[in-house]
Amino acid sequence: MSFCAFLGGEPFQAHFEPGIYVCSKCGYELFSSRAKYQHSSPWPAFTETIHANSVAKQEERPGALKVSCGKCGNGLGHEFLNDGPKRGQSRF
């Protein structure tokens, strides 16, 4: 499943089939469907990445990190700290 190829709507926001979400540019593994959860945002929401180096992070503002593919640098969105489904979890 290619992640973050926005074309006027996000097809994987309500997609909960088992699988791996990969970078739309290079195919690198980013997230597992096991880390995906229902959220009110229009984007898919995940609690963690597959690999420690799946994404690169850069602080954008307090509580929000800009996230890109750890392999090719393709922009993926944000990590919102302490905004996951459980206390202390992040939301990608």
Per-residue pLDDT tens digits for 1-47: 444 444 455 555 556 677 888 898 999 999 888 888 777 777 778 88
Pairing relationship of beta strands 55-61 and 45-46 according to DSSP bridges: unpaired
Q: pTM value?
A: 0.76
Q: CA-to-CA distance for 74 and 70, rounded, in angstroms?
A: 8
Section 38-57 average pLDDT:
86
What lies within 8 Å, CB to CB, of 41 at 6+ separation is 13
